[in-house]
Every structure is written in C-alpha cells, then in structure tokens.
Chains A and B, each alone.
Chain A
Amino acid sequence: MEAILTAVIPVVIIGVICAAVLVIAAKVMAVKEDERFPAVRECLPGANCGACGFAGCDGYAKALCENPDTPTNLCIPGADGVSRQLSDILGVEFADVVEQVAVVHCSGDCEHTSDKVVYQGIESCAAAKLMYGGKGSCTYGCLGLGDCVKVCPHDAICIADGVARVNTKDCVGCGLCAKTCPNHLISLVADVERVVVACSNKDKGAVTRKVCSNGCIGCKKCEKVCPLGAIKVVDNVAVIDYEKCDNCPDFAVCAKNCTVGCILTADLSGMHRVK
C-alpha cells in the first residue's frame, strides 16, 4: 500500500501544480475573442475555397468581426443565404451576392480539332502541358486530361469530347478550376452574363484556322456589331468586357454574327452555339 502511495502522491501533486499553473495562466493571459466569431464562422460553408479573397473561412470570419466595412456578400459558394445570415448577425444591411460560374474558353472538341501526338504520360494537364504544350494541335486549348475535374469540389466539371465542360447548375463559382488550369482557360463570370468567347488561341487567324475550326480568327466582326463596344479583339482573340456587356439591347448579337461560331450563349443546361 505504501509503495502505491509513494508513487501516486508525487504524480498527483505534480499534476495538481501543473493544472493550477495552467488555470491561472489561462485566466491571466486570456485573449479576448469576438463573441460573434463562432456564430459568423458557423454561417460560412467551411469549404475554404478562398473565393472571398481571404485565407479560408476562418480568415473571412475574422475580417467580418474585426472590420465592419468588410462586405458580407463575398462568400460566393454560400450565395444569398449566407449573406443574409451574416448581415443578421453583424447588424448590417443585406447585400446581394453576385453568383459566379466558371466558363471554359475553349470549344476545340474532337470534331473541330485534332491531336498532333499520342500522349501516354501521366494523366494530368499540368504534366501534359510540359510535353510540347500538350497532345492537341492547338497549344492554347483544353488539354482534356481533367485537372479541373479533379479539383472541383462539387463535381460540376466533366470532360466531354476532349473539352472541359462546366455544369452551371452544380457550379458554385469557387474558382478552384480557374486556378488549376495550366492554360488559364477557365474564368469566372457573373451568373447573369450569358455570352462567352469559347476560344483562347492567340495565334493569327490563318494559323488558328489550321489547328481548330472552332477557333477565334480575330476577324473583328463582333467588334463592329456590338452596340456597346464591349467586345474587343486583343492578341487575335475576342475578349468581352462584362462591365459594358450588361443590359445588351440586342442580346447575343455578337454570337449570331460570329464567323466561326466561337462565341457561345450559355444557360442552365450549358453553353450553346447560336447558329
């Protein structure tokens, strides 16, 4: 019995001392935490996608608590629901979230472009890109090995006919695919925008035409027909300035007049050619 006590008592004493020190330290050196923080953090989806521009959901929640000027509508995956909850907790006015969707700026599917080599390497766009810019004859286009598919947390992207396609119903606009694509083919547009240039080939028209019959040849016809001056050909490829493109009086006039049909209109079922 005595042997047990001589072992137990010192351990208990040391344990109690340690506990006392910890309790005192925790009380004395407590750091004040905003009591709204747990509630705010609870609202956010916790995907840590970084679409808000902060380092994960914790970072955004912290910024919301500390700085009252932080907008509550930055969480794109959370959309209006989260924004409404956040503004309730923080007591600020509700701001509408502009939902974003990813769009792929390439329409070089198997029918319109071809492979220049047989690629047998690692099944990854990033790896294929290192080998002479990928297997396709267009080095600007979709590599078709699905790095974006792998990174998408909502299974909203698939590779169909050799080109990545976004299912806009499932896309929450987190932008992880846009960061992953080695050819930078994916960008986020506000969900209300419905005209998309589906080509990123910066070569001159004749060169583009040889590798892909869907490629933008930079003919500038869209520039001429656009009533708002929102579409410009930059580096031999048409680019839409979505700030100007809003409220177009003649919807999709650029798409209707595109010589090669690389300007697409999009709705919930995906992107479509007008012609």
Chain B
Amino acid sequence: MTKLIIILLSAVFINNYVLSRFLGICPFLGVSKKLDSATGMSLAVIFVMLMATAATYPIQIYLLDPNGLGYLQTIVFILVIAALVQLVEIVLKRFVPSLHKSLGVYLPLITTNCAVLGVTILNIDEGYTFLEAMVNSLGSGLGFFLAMVMFSGVRSVLEKADVPKSFKGLPITLVAAAIVSLSFLGFGGVIENLFA
C-alpha cells in the first residue's frame, strides 16, 4: 500500500510529466491559456492515460514479450493508443454525449501525445505490476492536471502584466514555464522521506 502511495505521489510531484520529464509540452503550452480548456484537456489526458495503460500493459506482457517482439513496443503502442482513443470517442459520442462534448475536442489532440505514450512505456520499463502501472498512470495524469491548472493561473496573470515587447507571447510563456518547472525541483526527496 505504501508503495502505491509513493508511486502516486512521486508521479504527481517529483516525476511530473510536464515539469520534470518534459513530456506533453505541446498541450501544456497550447491549451493552458484558459482555465476551463486546461481542465478539459487534463481530464481527457487522465482518462486516456488510464485507458492506454490498461490496453497496452497486457499487450506487452502477453503478446510482445513471450514472442521476443519487445522492440516493436513503440510502434505497437502508438497504433493501439491511437485506435483506442478513436474507439473511445465513438463510444462516448453514442452513449455519453455530454462527456463527449466536454472532452471531445481534446481527445483527437492527444491520440499520439508523447505524455500518454511516455506513461505506457515507462510503466513497462519500471517493471511495475498491473496495479502499480495503473496507479502510476493516474498519478501522471493528476500531475499533468496540476501542471496545467497551475500554469493557466500563471498565464492569466501574465496576460495582465506589462511585458517588454521582445518577450511578449511565447517567450515569456516559456520563461514562466521554466520558473514553474524549477519550483517543482523543491519536491525532490520529499516523498521518500515522508514514509521513511
């Protein structure tokens, strides 16, 4: 149980996908302008990360590894995740139109998002069990959510700030992202010591 909590918390804070591993930067910079779109995007990411892990983990363990096809991991995962997200979109559109409406725009955007692919591959590399892999995916998704929501707050403040002309737009956003990322360094070593 302690191990699961450590996995969850370190996925959220220490190994934050956006701010420490620098995966999923594209949606992080692209969709973090407004709080509601940032929330929608992050919820879609959490959802897809869990689905993708649930689908790819068995494929790796029962299909690729026994047949010595481990080197096909990347391409097979991309294929499966892309198909899975499309399938989820079709199912949602049919049965949960309201959820499709709020997540719908973001789902196709993250079909081959590197954060999603990164989670599934790192789950295998770390040698997690299925349960641990799912917890790690949830934590990674929550970490993405945290980073997006925090950063949309930072950006809404930036919008009102009087920025020098040469820094306006993307440059100051990148500077702000770097500072937020630096602040997450402070979490290093905290989680392990919580349970020591």
Task: Give chain A's interface residues, CB within 8 Å of chain B.
Answer: 6-7, 10-11, 14-15, 18-19, 21-22, 25-26, 29-31, 121-122, 127
Give the secondary structure class of A's interface. Answer: helix
Complex alpha-carbon distance, A15 and B80, angstroms: 8
Choose from A10, A25, A127 the contact partner of B69 (Cβ within 8 Å).
A10
Total A-B residue contacts, Cβ distance less than 8 Å: 45
Q: A21-B87, A26-B90, A122-B162 are in contact. Are A14 and B80 (CB under 8 A)?
A: yes
Q: A11-B72, A14-B79, A15-B79 are in contact. Are A25 and B160 (CB under 8 A)?
A: no
Q: A16 to chain B: closest CB distance in Å?
A: 10
Chain A residue at minimum C-beta to C-beta distance from B71: A7
Evaluate contact between B93 and A29: CB separation under 8 angstroms. yes
In the bound complex, residues from chain B placing their C-beta under 8 Å from that of A21 are: 83, 87
Residue of A at shortest CB range from B68?
A6
A22 partner residues in chain B, CB cutoff 8 A: 83, 86-87, 90
Instruction: Establish whether residues A11 and B76, one from each chain, have CB atoms under 8 Å apart when the complex forms.
Output: yes
Q: How far is the CB of B82 from chain A (nearest CB, A)?
A: 8
Q: Is B94 an interface residue (CB 8 A)?
A: yes
Interface of B, helix, strand, loop or mixed by DSSP: helix
Bin the interface of chain B by size: 20 to 34
Q: Please give, as numbers and ranges, the residues of chain B lying within 8 Å of A127 by CB-CB distance.
A: 160
User: Could you give, for residues 90-102 of chain B, a 1 whenever the CB lies within 8 Å of some chain A CB and a 0 otherwise?
Assistant: 1101110100000
B76 CB to closest chain A CB (Å) equals 6
Q: Is B194 an interface residue (CB 8 A)?
A: no
Question: Does the CB pair A6–B69 fall under 8 Å?
Answer: yes
Chain B residues within an 8 Å CB radius of A30: 94
CB distance from A75 to the nearest CB of B (A): 23
Within 8 Å by CB of A29, from B72, B90, B160, lies: B90
CA separation between A127 and B159, bound complex, in Å? 11
Chain B residues near A121 (CB, 8 Å)? 162
> In whole angstroms, how far apart are the Cα atoms of A14 and B76 in the complex?
8
The minimal Cβ–Cβ distance linking A111 to chain B, given in whole angstroms, is: 31
30 contacts between A and B (CB under 8 A): A6-B69, A7-B69, A7-B71, A10-B63, A10-B69, A10-B72, A11-B72, A11-B75, A11-B76, A11-B79, A14-B76, A14-B79, A15-B79, A18-B79, A18-B80, A18-B83, A19-B83, A22-B83, A22-B86, A25-B87, A25-B90, A26-B90, A29-B90, A29-B91, A29-B93, A29-B94, A29-B95, A31-B97, A121-B162, A122-B160
Closest chain B residue, CB of each to CB of A121 = B162
A19 partner residues in chain B, CB cutoff 8 A: 83
**Bound: A53/B105 CA distance, A:** 22
